[in-house]
């Protein structure tokens, strides 16, 4: 990142002259807390902006840090806000904004992790991303692998501390192969990576991943979120993936059912086996299975 061209200074900046360059959604409860705190004790820390010339020659500002504080001031009817004015390039302003959001880790998991992907897309290597965000290089590399595979459910679980990153990478590496996934779970358990609650959490996440797909986008929307073309497309794509996953699970279940029916039909043709069932008072089957084992009745 380039060095600032001039010393920073604090000014009162008109709110309508500030443009947000890296907008993000905010939890309504957290936002209400910010508004309440500012209303009660005022602004404890100025926002950070960098000046730019508007097309009409007037001065405007790009927001670097403090979107929540800016929105809170606007909701309180304020027209100006204290701001630390720094002189940096558009690229540096964007990187500063992303790095600040990631380093504070107060945003939603997918937003935080999307920030890591944005830094990578701008040409930053995992080592550079780690230095800018205060995360470890191993963590950044692992997160980028999960992002590249679209493993949103695993990403959220890792960021919330439900499962370790190493276990998530093992599960992602197994793909959709159920046997490989179970082998990865077994290896993680034996190596001590997954124990107790984390093992149970991993099993639940895997079940949802198999049933609903890797993406968790449909669960990340908020009631007050605006509907846009891109959000509709994402929702549609997520729903398509979910439906495909349900079809795959249904086909897999149907194959297992056919195997069970075939096996029961063979076993019930053995008189010795039937006599054993009668002796153990197990000579009846649920109607659903009986109708398939003996289609013509029996």
Q: Would the pLDDT of 6 be above 70? A: no
Distance in angstroms (rounded) separating the CA atoms of residues 43 and 36:
11
Structural domain of residue 191, as residue ranges?
120-212
Mean pLDDT rounded to a whole number for the chain: 78
Query: Are 163 and 248 in a shared domain?
Result: no
Same domain membership, residue 11 and residue 87: yes
Domain assignment of residue 225, yes or no: no
3-class SS string, 163-179: CCHHHHHHHHHCCCCHH
Q: Which of 7-16, 91-100, 173-182, 190-199 has the lowest mean pLDDT?
A: 91-100
Has residue 105 got a pLDDT over 70? Answer: no
Residue 98 located in a structural domain: yes
The whole-angstrom separation of Cα 146 and Cα 161 is 15
Residues 208 and 130 in one domain: yes
Secondary structure letter of residue 148 according to DSSP = H
pLDDT category at 81 given cuts 50, 70, 90 is very high
> pLDDT tens for residues 224-270?
444 556 666 767 777 777 788 788 888 888 888 888 888 888 888 88
Same domain, 73 and 124: no
Domain endpoint, select from 107, 141, 156: 107
Tokens of 236: 């549609």
Determine whether 35 is exposed, middle or buried from the number of CB atoms within 10 Å of its CB (0-12, 13-18, 19+): middle
Q: What are the pLDDT digits (tens) for 280-291? A: 887 787 887 788
- On whether residue 223 sits in a domain, the answer given is no
- Per residue in 197-223, pLDDT (tens digit) is 888 888 888 888 777 777 765 444 444
Domain count, the chain: 3
Q: Report the run of H or E that residue 52 belongs to, with start and end.
A: strand 47-53
**N-to-C CA span, the chain:** 79
**pLDDT bracket for residue 26 (50, 70, 90):** low
Is 8 in the same domain as 78? yes
Q: Which residues pair with 59 in a beta bridge?
A: 53
In degrees and rounded to multiples of 5, residue 59 shows phi and psi of -85, 135
Residue 218 lies in a domain: no
Tell me, what CATH number does 59's domain have? Answer: 3.90.1530.10
What order of strands is seen across the sheet that includes strand 80-85? 9-14, 80-85, 47-53, 59-65, 18-20
156 and 258 fall within a common domain: no
> Global pTM?
0.47
Q: Which of 212, 228, 255 is the last residue of a domain?
A: 212
């Amino acid at each position: 990142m380039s060095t600032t061209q001039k010393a920073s200074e604090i000014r009162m900046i008109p709110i309508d002259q500030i443009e947000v360059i890296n907008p993000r959604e905010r939890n309504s409860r957290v936002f209400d807390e910010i508004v309440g705190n500012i209303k009660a004790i005022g602004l404890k820390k100025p926002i950070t902006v960098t000046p730019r010339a508007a097309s009409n020659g007037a001065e405007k500002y790009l927001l670097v840090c403090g979107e929540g504080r800016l929105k809170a001031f606007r909701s309180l009817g304020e027209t100006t806000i204290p701001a630390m004015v720094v002189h940096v390039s558009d690229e540096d302003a964007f990187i500063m904004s992303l790095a600040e959001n990631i380093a504070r880790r107060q945003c939603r998991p997918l937003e935080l992790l999307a920030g890591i992907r944005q830094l990578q897309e701008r040409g930053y290597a995992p080592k550079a991303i780690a230095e800018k965000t205060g995360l470890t290089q191993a963590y950044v590399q692992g997160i980028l692998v999960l992002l590249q595979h679209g493993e949103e459910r695993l990403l959220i679980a890792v960021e919330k501390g439900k499962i370790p990153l190493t276990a998530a990478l093992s599960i992602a590496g197994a793909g959709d192969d159920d046997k490989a996934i179970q082998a990865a779970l077994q290896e993680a358990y034996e190596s001590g990576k997954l124990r107790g609650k984390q093992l149970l959490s991993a099993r639940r996440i895997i079940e949802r991943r198999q049933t609903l797909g890797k993406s968790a986008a449909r669960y990340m929307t908020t009631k007050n979120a605006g509907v846009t073309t891109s959000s509709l497309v994402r929702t549609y794509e997520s729903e398509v993936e979910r439906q495909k996953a349900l079809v795959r699970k249904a086909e897999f279940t149907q194959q297992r059912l056919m195997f069970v029916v075939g096996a029961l039909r063979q076993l019930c043709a053995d008189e010795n086996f039937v006599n054993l069932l009668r002796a153990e008072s197990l000579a009846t089957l649920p109607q659903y299975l009986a109708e398939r084992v003996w289609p013509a009745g029996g």
